[in-house]
Chains A and B, each alone.
Chain A
Amino acid sequence: MNDTGGMGDDVQLLTLDVNGTSYEVITPPRRTLVDVLRHDLRLTGTHVGCEHGICGACTVLVDGLPVRACLMFAAQAEGARISTVESLADPGSGELDDLQRAFTENHGLQCGFCTPGFLMLAQGFLAERPEATKEEIREVVAANLCRCTGYQTIVEAIDACATARRAQRAAGTEETSCN
C-alpha cells in the first residue's frame, strides 16, 4: 500500500519542513534524507552521487547550514528547516536567483550533475560568511567534486555573487543612512 521503495521493512511517519512546506511521509527509517527528497517528495533537483559523503552532489541546507543529505537519515531531519536547490529560483516565474545566474555567467558548470550541490554549499557558506575571500571560497569548494570545470569558474561564480551581494548591501545601507 505505502510506497516503501520496495524495501519491505518497518515504516514510520515523518513530518519534514522542506523549502517552507510541511510534508508528511511514510518511509522506512533507513531512508537517507537525499532518498526521501528524491523518491518520496519527488524533489529531484538534489542529486545523489557517492552515498558516502565524498562527492557533495547531495548537499542541502539544514537549519541554514550545508550538510551531506546522504549522511543523514530523514528521521534525523524532523524538526529542522531543510532547503534544497528548488528553493533558489523564483517559485512563480522560475527566474533564477543571483547565485544561479552567477554560475551561468561565469561558466561555473558543464555537465551540471554536481551543480545543485555546489549551489547549496555556496548558499550556506555565503549566508554565514558574506565577507568571504576568494581564498576562503577555494577552500570551501574543496568539499565537493566537479570533474568538468576544474573549479576555477566555480570559484569565480561564487566570488562574483558574493561581491555583487556586498555591493548591493552597501548601496542599501547608504540609502538607509541618507533617509
Chain B
Amino acid sequence: MKPAPFRYHRARDVEDATALLAELGDEAKVIAGGQSLVAMMNFRLARPAHLVDIGGLRELDHLGTDAGGGLRIGALTTHHTVETAPPQQLGAGFDIIRAAMAWIGHLPIRTRGTAGGSMAHGDATAEWCLLAVLLDAELVARSPRGQRRVPAREFFFGYYTTALDPDEILVEIVFPHPAPHAALTEFAERRGDFAVVSAAVSLEAEGRAVHGGRVALGGVAAMPVRVPEAEAVLAAGGSFRDCAEAAAAAVDPPGDANGSPHYRKHLIRTLVERACEEAMSR
C-alpha cells in the first residue's frame, strides 16, 4: 500500500532536528534508516503528519572505542557498518555485537537500518535492544533542553515504548565495558524474521572456569529482560544446562501465533545453553 500524506523536513544538524520536533510536536516522527517506519507507514499503521529526516547528519555516523575501552556507536551507524567494521575499530571484547548483526533482517535491511533507529523503535525482540540491556549500554539523547544519558534498563518501557521525549533524538549508544565471553543467539521461523525468542549471555570466566555472568532474553516480555535467577546459577558455579533451566523457570512468556508459552520456554532452555557455549568458545 501507499503511505498517507506527510510533510518532509530535512534536518541540517542535531539542533535543527530537535527544534523541528519541539515545534511540530506529537504529529512528527524522526526517520533515520526507515526500515521499520516506512513499512509501518506503507501499511498505514503509522500516519505521521511530518517526517524529520536525520539521515544526512554525518556527525551521528561513527564507531570507535573510548579511552576506557568502551565502545561508542553513533545513532546513525548502520548494522552493515558494524558488521563489516575492522576489528581494531570495534575494539577488543565486542565480538558479540558484530556477530549479532547477522541476525538482523537481511543484507539490504542492514545497509539502511541503524543502531539508534532500532533502539528508538524499541521492538521487544530487536537484537540491539537485547544487547543494550545485556551489556548495560547508556543511550545518549539530545533535546532543545540539553543532553542526557539514559541507562538501557531505564530506556525500554514496553512494546515500542521508550524513555525518549517527543522532542528528543538518540545521538549515541555507549557500551561501557568489553564483554569478551559473550554471545547472542535466537530462533525465528525463517532466517531474517524477528525472533520468537532470543537469548544473550555475557560470562565472567578465567580459563574454562565460569564464576558469574549475565543472562538476557528477548521475546518473552514487552521488552528485553535480564534474568537474575539464571545469573545466580552461573555465580554459584552451576552448569550451562542448569542456568538455562533456571531462565526458563523464571519467566512467564506470552503465547501468540509464533509460539505458546510452553514452546517459548523450550526455546529458552535450548537458546540460553547454546549462547553460553558460544560465549565460552570466544
Q: Enumerate chain A interface residues (CB-CB to B < 8 A).
A: 7, 9-10, 12, 28-30, 32, 35, 51-53, 56, 59, 62, 65-68, 70-73, 75-76, 79, 121, 124-125, 128, 139-140, 142-143
Q: Is B91 an interface residue (CB 8 A)?
A: no
Give the residue name and chain of the A residue nearest to B80 (CB): A65
For A52, list chain B residues within 8 Å (CB).
39, 42-43
Q: Is B93 an interface residue (CB 8 A)?
A: no
Q: A10-B7, A142-B192, A143-B108 are in contact. List 18 more A-B contacts (CB 8 A).
A: A12-B8, A29-B8, A32-B2, A32-B38, A52-B39, A53-B35, A53-B39, A53-B105, A59-B108, A62-B111, A65-B108, A66-B108, A68-B108, A73-B38, A75-B10, A75-B53, A76-B31, A79-B56
Give the residue name and chain of the A residue nearest to B4 (CB): A30
- Compute how far the CA of A52 lies from the CA of B109 in the bound complex, rounded to whole angstroms: 11
- Compute how far the CA of A67 lies from the CA of B3 in the bound complex, rounded to whole angstroms: 19
Main secondary structure of the interface of B (DSSP, over half): loop
Interface residues in B1-25 (C-beta closer than 8 Å to A): 1-8, 10
For B282, list chain A residues within 8 Å (CB).
none
Q: Is B62 an interface residue (CB 8 A)?
A: no
- Determine if B2 and A73 form an interchain contact, defined as CB atoms under 8 angstroms apart: no
- Compute how far the CA of A75 lies from the CA of B53 in the bound complex, rounded to whole angstroms: 9
Give the residue name and chain of the B residue nearest to A65 (CB): B111
Q: Is B166 an interface residue (CB 8 A)?
A: no
Which of A35, A70, A72, A73: most chain B CB closer than 10 A?
A73
- Compute how far the CA of A53 lies from the CA of B43 in the bound complex, rounded to whole angstroms: 11
- Determine if B42 and A73 form an interchain contact, defined as CB atoms under 8 angstroms apart: no
Which of B53, B106, B111, B112: most chain A CB closer than 10 A?
B106
B contact residues, total (Cβ < 8 Å):
33
Q: Enumerate chain B interface residues (CB-CB to A < 8 A).
A: 1-8, 10, 31, 34-35, 38-39, 41-43, 51, 53, 55-56, 80, 84, 105-109, 111-112, 190-192
Known: A30-B2, A68-B112. A76 touches B42 (CB 8 A): no
- Determine if A72 and B38 form an interchain contact, defined as CB atoms under 8 angstroms apart: yes
- Determine if A68 and B8 form an interchain contact, defined as CB atoms under 8 angstroms apart: no
Looking at the assembled complex, report how far the CB atom of B42 sits from the nearest CB atom of chain A, in whole angstroms.
5
- Determine if A71 and B192 form an interchain contact, defined as CB atoms under 8 angstroms apart: no
- Determine if A73 and B34 form an interchain contact, defined as CB atoms under 8 angstroms apart: yes
For A71, list chain B residues within 8 Å (CB).
34-35, 38-39, 109, 112
- Determine if B51 and A53 form an interchain contact, defined as CB atoms under 8 angstroms apart: no
Looking at the assembled complex, report how far the CB atom of A69 sits from the nearest CB atom of chain B, in whole angstroms.
9
Give the residue name and chain of the B residue nearest to A33 (CB): B38
Known: A12-B8, A143-B106. A67 touches B112 (CB 8 A): yes
- Determine if B111 and A66 form an interchain contact, defined as CB atoms under 8 angstroms apart: yes
For A125, list chain B residues within 8 Å (CB).
107
Looking at the assembled complex, report how far the CB atom of B100 sits from the nearest CB atom of chain A, in whole angstroms.
15
- Compute how far the CA of A68 lies from the CA of B5 in the bound complex, rounded to whole angstroms: 21
- Compute how far the CA of A30 lies from the CA of B84 in the bound complex, rounded to whole angstroms: 32
Give the residue name and chain of the A residue nearest to B9 (CB): A29
- Compute how far the CA of A75 lies from the CA of B38 in the bound complex, rounded to whole angstroms: 13
Give the residue name and chain of the B residue nearest to A75 (CB): B8
For A66, list chain B residues within 8 Å (CB).
107-108, 111
For A10, list chain B residues within 8 Å (CB).
5, 7
Top-5 shortest CB links A-B = A143-B106, A29-B8, A9-B5, A65-B111, A52-B39
Q: List 20 A-B contacts (CB under 8 A).
A: A9-B5, A10-B5, A29-B6, A29-B7, A30-B5, A32-B2, A32-B3, A32-B42, A59-B108, A62-B112, A68-B35, A68-B112, A70-B38, A71-B34, A73-B8, A79-B56, A142-B192, A143-B107, A143-B108, A143-B192
